[in-house]
Structure 1
């Protein structure tokens, strides 16, 4: 399969590197100049759980590309830019593996091909140009977003990941929406709290931070239910607690962004919950408070509505987030 990874940050580089190990896959990374130059000259070096070097194609220009699949792994605030560049190319399908919600709708509104939603619990940190540390393996789930009946292509994408020994599952349109809302609950609980506390994810396993997990998760579950997604409170709380336990020593992407003074993805995480809850007439005070605090921090540093990290080549998550996506 011909695969373009649009956003060669941490998770994009890791998945692109693993896919490039398959002889039948032809992988191209789209990323920033320093990273692309290093990959072209020395290859992409994977360290951590396994150590190897692969040599995928790499480019800084995301326009005019053609492939069976484009994996979008840029930061959420770069999705519109990514969509504009992808629109100049030719793809059989595009799959978002990004944080937050709303990315799939942006891509579907701009592109004339099936759009898939995806989530993964793989974790990575891009340590230096041309190098990414693989610090966590888990699973990957893909499913149809638009149109809702493109199960066949979603199955082919899952099989392409499985060929790279990535534990991938194909779910239906309802299934991927539920998985993404569950992931949203995980990120809504972990990312802003650890960013504000400057703490590792494990801080949410014990009081006082642990006291925030249930209220955040309940609010996300209630909002999901209001928009027609069957997500229960108990299972949502359990999902958050499981990720906190599994990633206790990790630093979330938002915490990493705040430490570096960079714009966060708060608007597509807690901000998305707040907006959908407002539309449904639901009160989500804990999510609203976290969203407001992070937005206040961003405003104090001059982070506006557009990305201050460049254009559509975006770094993806060049830091490794709470659940690896």
Structure 2
């Protein structure tokens, strides 16, 4: 019997991955808190478009409002629940879906940030997996319509990395990888925590900068001061992750040590970092707003406390200073509250020791 799958939080990533599962004939139920999104999915299905190379498609889906989740108690429980909400909604989403999880079922964090521990606090570590969507560049542009600002990653870039918290390769990790691979390239990793922290570094370098400046990623890369501030953000995050014992993977297709040294002012590393990031921008990379930039434009709460703020908190626990990440966290929160208007001057005028 096919697994019953729930996508809890049908935002950009949940909609994108789940639409491909539904199109392939998997038994998927989409649950969301945006009424217009649910109604659009019911009426028209989920529409998926790409910037290039991939044909548009629309697939019919089963969609529920939050208020309708209680209906599930009259049917079969879910075998796999993908938690795809924003990080600040993780705990209540896991609590809500726990009662509709099959006895042998489990939850998968398909989110930004480090949310596995929060989910495990609800259902236990034995029922918790992680899945990372790396540089996926998706946006829920309209209700029921997810856009990807690229083609497929394919062999050039592995998008999904699926792993168990204990690092062993299991059949259920392979099954989650199979489901993710319906939408793009996927691997099963033995290094979930290293992959997770590496993705956190990637987000820390770009998301908050877009959110507080109002700029797309490419424009922040083309500005020397902003690009190098991004290196400093990454350097602090990398050094914190290393001190915490994580084995980091590539960040922006670079050795994380190069980024760390660039952020610390090493001339050779900085030259390599600049050349790599500028080449990325020249080839069309970064022609989009990362998720936090999208949230700011839409007037939604950001995940800054769970990305740069989380790095600051973890670094403080072990005596590492992270002034760039602390400053960015503060600025994004001020813009979010309406105390500042988005603009690059908030970063350009910083004076950090």
C-alpha displacement of 1:150: 6.5
Q: TM-score, with normalisation over the residues of structure 2?
A: 0.77
CA distances 1:242-290 after superposition (whole Å, capped 9, x unpaired): 9964642111222222233321100100001000000010011111110
Is 2:137–2:290's contact at 8 Å kept on the other side of the alignment?
no
- Residue number in structure 2 paired with 1:156: 175
The within-5 A match list for 1:86-235 is 86-91=97-102, 92-101=105-114, 103-112=115-124, 113-120=126-133, 121-136=135-150, 137-138=152-153, 139-145=159-165, 148-149=167-168, 151-162=170-181, 164=182, 166-172=184-190, 175-206=191-222, 207-231=224-248, 232-234=256-258
C-alpha displacement of 1:67: 2.0
Larger radius of gyration, structure 1 or 2? 2
Instruction: Give the 3 Å change call, closer, same or farther, for CA 251–243 of structure 1 in structure 2.
Output: farther
Q: CA RMSD in A?
A: 2.4
C-alpha displacement of 1:104: 1.0
Distance of 1:72 and 1:202 partners within structure 2 = 30
Is 1:190–1:244's contact at 8 Å kept on the other side of the alignment?
no
Unaligned 5+ segments in structure 2 are 154-158, 249-255, 263-272, 340-353
Distance of 1:133 and 1:264 partners within structure 2 = 20
CA distances 1:154-194 after superposition (whole Å, capped 9, x unpaired): 112112233x252111011xx11111111111111101112
- Residue number in structure 2 paired with 1:311: none
Distance of 1:219 and 1:244 partners within structure 2 = 22
Is 1:26–1:56's contact at 8 Å kept on the other side of the alignment?
no
Is 1:203–1:210's contact at 8 Å kept on the other side of the alignment?
no
Distance of 1:122 and 1:171 partners within structure 2 = 18
Distance of 1:203 and 1:118 partners within structure 2 = 29
Is 1:143–1:170's contact at 8 Å kept on the other side of the alignment?
yes
CA distances 1:113-154 after superposition (whole Å, capped 9, x unpaired): 521111113232222222222333322111012x55463311
Instruction: Give the 3 Å change call, closer, same or farther, for CA 205–134 of structure 1 in structure 2.
Output: closer
Distance of 1:134 and 1:183 partners within structure 2 = 18
Q: Is 1:68 paired with 2:79?
A: yes
Is 2:80–2:101's contact at 8 Å kept on the other side of the alignment?
no
Is 1:217–1:233's contact at 8 Å kept on the other side of the alignment?
no
Counterpart secondary structure, 2:149? strand
- Residue number in structure 1 paired with 2:315: 277
Counterpart secondary structure, 2:326? helix
Is 2:81–2:101's contact at 8 Å kept on the other side of the alignment?
no
Counterpart secondary structure, 2:320? coil
Q: TM-score, with normalisation over the residues of structure 1?
A: 0.83
Is 2:234–2:259's contact at 8 Å kept on the other side of the alignment?
no
Instruction: Give the 3 Å change call, closer, same or farther, for CA 183–295 of structure 1 in structure 2.
Output: same
Task: State the number of aligned residues.
Answer: 295
C-alpha displacement of 1:211: 1.3
Higher relative CO (CA 8 A, sep ≥ 6), structure 1 or 2? 1
Distance of 1:244 and 1:294 partners within structure 2 = 25
C-alpha displacement of 1:241: 4.0
